[in-house]
Amino acid sequence: MEKKNIAILVIDDDPANIEILRRLLGQIEGWKIKVMACNDVVTGSAEASRCQVDLIFLDYLLGGETGIETFHEIRKGGCTLPVIMFNGHNSKKIAVEAMKAGVSDYLTKGRITPDRLRLVISFAVQKNRIHQKMEEKRKALLEAERKRVMMESVTATCHHFAGPLTTMLANLQMFAEVENIEECEKRDMLEQCLKAAGTMKMILNKFQQVRDYRTRYFLEDLKILDIGLGSIYGTPEVQ
């Protein structure tokens, strides 16, 4: 049978309990389990935040804190790994409270068997993987919707700018044709305005032709919609 590799973090302030759990885990046939143990809340929460294991076993009583309080601290630290809580007392009230808080399962010390561990670990890991895939899909859908709204906003903006810009450009061109401006400075100003208006029209046309949402770096930490204006932005064109 191919061995299943599992890494587990155990947070328990009683070394004897950790050793018992380690021995039970080692009796799961076909599994190769690596156990990492922490004896206090601070160290355990810090190790959990690194997310370098597959799941966490958390004792309900840890010094002055309950396991549920520690569980919330772990979640606040950004760890989304499945957590299995275990307790020396078979308390339905605590079990319900723990499950409502979000732990994957609740076990009673003294009643834990290798077969039971295999079942709850398999379920917790599989459920977490499914949740991660669903979360990835959710984020992908949100990102797709954000891009769709962005593209529609670009199209609407181009439409609103096109009318006034066309009027301004037409008037500037007519003014340049009918007026005999002899002063060089005024003639240069008019030509600059014509050039700027022409550039703005070209940019709007570029935006209107965008069909795919593609970004490029404008500043070191800022991305903008890429419409092929590298020469204006001072950055090379993307081939």
Contact 6, 32 (CB under 8 A): yes
DSSP summary character for residue 57: E
pLDDT tens across 96-138, in order? Answer: 999 999 999 999 998 999 999 999 999 999 999 999 899 999 9
Burial of 21 (0-12, 13-18, 19+ CB in 10 A): buried
pLDDT tens across 18-42, in order? Answer: 999 999 999 999 999 999 999 988 8
DSSP reduced 3-state for 99: helix
Alpha-helical segments (H) within the chain = 15-26, 41-49, 67-76, 92-101, 114-178, 184-209, 230-233
Which amino acid type is present at position 98?
A
Mean pLDDT (whole number) for 188-202: 85
pLDDT tens across 48-87, in order? Answer: 988 889 999 999 988 788 889 999 999 998 899 999 999 9
Torsions phi, psi of 237, nearest 5? -65, 145
pLDDT tens across 129-180, in order? Answer: 999 899 999 999 988 888 888 778 877 888 888 888 888 888 888 877 776 7
Mean pLDDT (whole number) for 195-212: 80
Burial of 96 (0-12, 13-18, 19+ CB in 10 A): exposed
CB neighbours of residue 102 within 10 Å: 13
DSSP reduced 3-state for 11: strand
DSSP reduced 3-state for 61: strand
Scanning the structure block, which residue is given the tokens 């899909």?
Answer: 137
Q: Which region holds residue 96: left if phi is over 0, alpha if psi is between -120 and 50, else beta? A: alpha
Mean pLDDT (whole number) for 190-212: 81
d(CA 52, CA 43): 14
pLDDT at 147: 81
pLDDT at 130: 93
pLDDT-based confidence at residue 1 (cuts at 50, 70, 90): very low
